[in-house]
A and B are shown apart, each in its own frame.
Chain A
Amino acid sequence: MKLAVNKTLVLGLLFTLALAMGWLDAGPLRGGQQEATLLGIHAVLSAVLVFLWFRQDAFERGYRTSLGLKAGMLLLSVLALPWYFYRSRGAARGTLAVAWLVAAFVVAMLLYRAGTWRS
């Protein structure tokens, strides 16, 4: 059974996560191993959310995902996402999607930066 996921919601969660991580990073969890653990959690949660977004997107497009792509999306999404965009959308729309990916990344990092302003 395929569990439907709202892609906009996932994107929103990614942005919220970035904001929250900024706040925690500069505040209660700053320094030492706590910061490293926080980074790890951020990475895992981000990977899961990116995977959920990818899975839903592939489902909506009827794109058959291989095991390798799924693993790549979980473990090396920085490279796997652009690859998926080109494969699922073709060169032109894939390039546009990559541009949106870059924009989303920039927004996430800006929100992270905003989160750190409390300190």
Chain B
Amino acid sequence: MMRGALLVALLVGPWLAAAQDQSAIVNDVTQINPIKVDRILKPKSIEEVVAAVQGHAGPVSIGGGRFSMGGQTATERALQLDMREFDKVVAFSKKAKEITVQSGITWRKIQEFIDPHDLSLQIMQTYANFTVGGSLSVNVHGRYVGQGPLVLSVKSIRIVLADGTLLQASPAENREIFYGAIGGYGAMGVIVEATLALADNLRVERKSQVMPLAEYKEHFFKHVRQNPGVVFHNADIYPEAYDSVRATSYLKTDKPPTVGHRLMPKDQDYWLERSAYSVISEWPFGKAIRQFVIDPVVFRGERVEWRNYEASYDVRELEPASRAQSTFVLQEYFVPVERLEEFVPKMAEILNRRRVNVINVSIRHAIQDPGTLLAWARSEVFAFVLYYKQGITEADRKAVGVWTRELVDAAIGAGGAYYLPYQIHPTDRQFHAAYPNAKAFFELKQKVDSGNKFRNKLWDAYYPAVARKAQPVPLAELGKVAGYKRDAAQTYLTLPEWFLVYSPDEYAGHLKTQPASGFPYFGSIGQFWGYYWDVYEATRQKYPFNWGYHVMVFVIGSSYTVENAIKGVYENVVGRLTEWFSGDSRTQEDDFGARVAQDYVDFIRVDPWYEYSFARQLKRLWRETDLLGPNMVRKWERKLILSLEYAAKAQYATLIKLGTKAAYGDADSEMLALVRGLPPEPLKNEPAMKIVREFDDGSTLLSLPRYEEFRDAVLRLVKKGARFSEIAGNREILVTAIVPATWQSDLAPLLFERPILTDFGRKRVALNVPVERLHEALNRLTGPGLVVEHIYDY
């Protein structure tokens, strides 16, 4: 059933075609990339293609089934060439085992043609609905062992260039065009014909086994890569532990087929497969149900089938009942084979941390690409095909963008690349890092398409002639940008909330070396209310009273007060007594409590406190600390009091979470800022930042992450020479810094200063900084003993 996730490029979706034709809105299988094109033309001959390219003054885009997932087949105001009716077999030689086809033909149609001759395609992707032209444009790969990118099975192509020239290209003839057009996403011209290598159609027997991920690489190279009998192979990594795989191979056999069909029957309803995907993606423990119930059933027993059968899957088995609320999406990453174990844990960490609803991660293998300019297999690689479910709102897409850029960085960091047919989230820097020959690719495009006729969303994003063009948007328009303006008073009012990060931070720091009883619980309570009074004073004359926020601060302040009062009394009575029993030595539980305190602080710097899983820590406490050991009195006293604390906080957090979600909904995850003086490649190594717009006066509207990451992002930008004009539409912003107690401020109006209770040699100062002078303040606050604690992002 799973057969791994798939490579989807430009597939044919006839059921979509008619509606799209009428409205001239082009979309893809995910239904989240609608693009209004000028016109759609369905050529049936090369002459029609040439005439269209020569005759259309604006951009030309090329589409197959529009199953790429980021607008790779269209751009606004383009003439879209819908190639699906350009689908004839042009020539065939059984003896030479080759076939020449028009590029709009589907792989399925070729299979129907060659199957009676006992031939198969040498390389294609898992699903047969793709058009050949689309597959060539993205240079797909499949599950074939010892093979790799599709280009390896292409003998030649014919391509219509921007001036209407019809050119033959192969590894020996016009090789530059050949290696630029294949995997070139329609940038060089319209591939109209391709001559493909064929192979014998054999019977294959399925062999499948589950193993720890750690054993997979050895298994692959010992039993798969070196075995000439293996035709297909892939391995599915089971989410969400990502530590075991199901490795499935199809080996040549003389046994009679157990599957009656030579090709997969067409027009099946696939209700069983679709239901399974629904269970996996939506049910509680769907992933475990798949791993321990569905897959063992699917992979039971002997299965012998024809190679063409295994290569003729229909993408309709993946189609959800509805894409109105969510959609199934693909991504793919490539990593050199020797770095598999390095990449997978990073991928798993990102996917789990970002709570990605992963349905499957399929490992494929590919040998080195022979020379395409946008080669994704620059060496022998493992491909990781990620199939997941996401929501369709703008917030969902932004969230996907953040973790996608993290995954891209993980792949690049392992010497790999990411695949381009999917949502266009990666930055320019990431694109060039993953595709180091992109410069040569763009030079070739400039040579053969100097007018940039062949366009689509992918090249609009990365082709320098388009991507870096400044937009003449007046600054006054900024106020109309969605999410730009935020309430100015929030820069002050968020400070008490942040104190609930600073105080646990002090607490965690204290616990690393000191017993819990020495922490100034009651002094911290006083400081919280003191800070609250300070910001109240700072805002009450200037801004309308924000009832909702003040009530919220009162609720969290009261909780903080009660918690610290109880802990203060307990630790100074019972805690001190058990400390006395244990002398100077610390128990495992003391250390565990200190680690959790730090983990909690690290968590709440980014996420709301009530999202922290105290219940998980409770379980870890009982799993990871010994039941017996030195200082038994202190040990069990800590075990029990930490258990009580975690259990109570787990229940209380659940209550607050329910209330908060009901009252406020989810918070924004990004902040917009207007910046000047950005250096070239300003967002290098900045996956969480994004350029929203560039203006004629040199200003840039940047999307920045929020909260703690906002501070770090601002500090890095300032270090690169950036100057802020406005942040969230505001001209003043609150900054706190930790400085020596003797430090005096002459930077900006000082809102207040208070001592650090666990270190009286330092103090916290709060400065009211004009945004235009933020860089000065931050630069002055960089030095020995000075720490910019936070920049309050409204």
Contacts and interface: CB of A to CB of B under 8 A. Distances in A.
A and B: bona fide binding partners: yes
A112 B622 contact: yes
Contacts of B650: 43
Contact of A34 (B285, B616, B622, B643): B285
A100 interface: no
A39 B618 CA distance: 11
B647 interface: yes
Closest 6 CB pairs of A and B: A32-B240, A31-B241, A32-B352, A109-B622, A31-B240, A78-B648
Nearest to B645: A78
B651 A76 contact: yes
B651 A30 contact: no
A76 B656 CA distance: 12
A70 interface: no
B174 interface: no
Interface in A8-53: 25, 28-39, 41-43
B654 A43 contact: yes
A105 B622 contact: no
Nearest to A119: B623
A29 B655 contact: no
A60 to B, nearest CB: 25
Contact of B623 (A36, A42, A77, A113): A113
B651 A34 contact: no
A101 to B, nearest CB: 11
Contact of A37 (B284, B651, B652): B284
B655 A76 contact: yes
A75 interface: yes
Given A37-B284, A105-B643, A30 B652 contact: no
A76 B615 contact: no
A110 interface: yes
Interface stretch (B287-295, B496-504, B714-722, B775-783): B287-295
A29 B616 CA distance: 14
User: Chain B contact residues (Cβ within 8 angstroms of A): what range?
Assistant: 20 to 34
A113 B622 contact: yes
B292 to A, nearest CB: 6
B619 interface: yes
Contacts, number: 73
B242 interface: yes
A112 B240 contact: no
B651 A32 contact: no
Contacts of B284: 37, 41
A68 to B, nearest CB: 14
Contacts of A76: 648, 651-652, 655
Given A28-B291, A75-B655, A78-B647, A33 B619 contact: no
A56 interface: no
6 contacts: A28-B288, A30-B241, A32-B239, A32-B351, A43-B651, A112-B619
A25 B242 CA distance: 15
A42 B352 CA distance: 20
A97 to B, nearest CB: 16
Given A76-B655, A110-B622, A33 B355 contact: yes
Nearest to B289: A28
A3 interface: no
A119 B362 CA distance: 25
A112 B241 CA distance: 20
A76 B240 CA distance: 30
Contacts of B16: none
B644 interface: yes
A75 B291 CA distance: 33
B619 A25 contact: yes
Contacts of B240: 31-35
Contacts of A110: 622, 627
A28 B615 contact: no
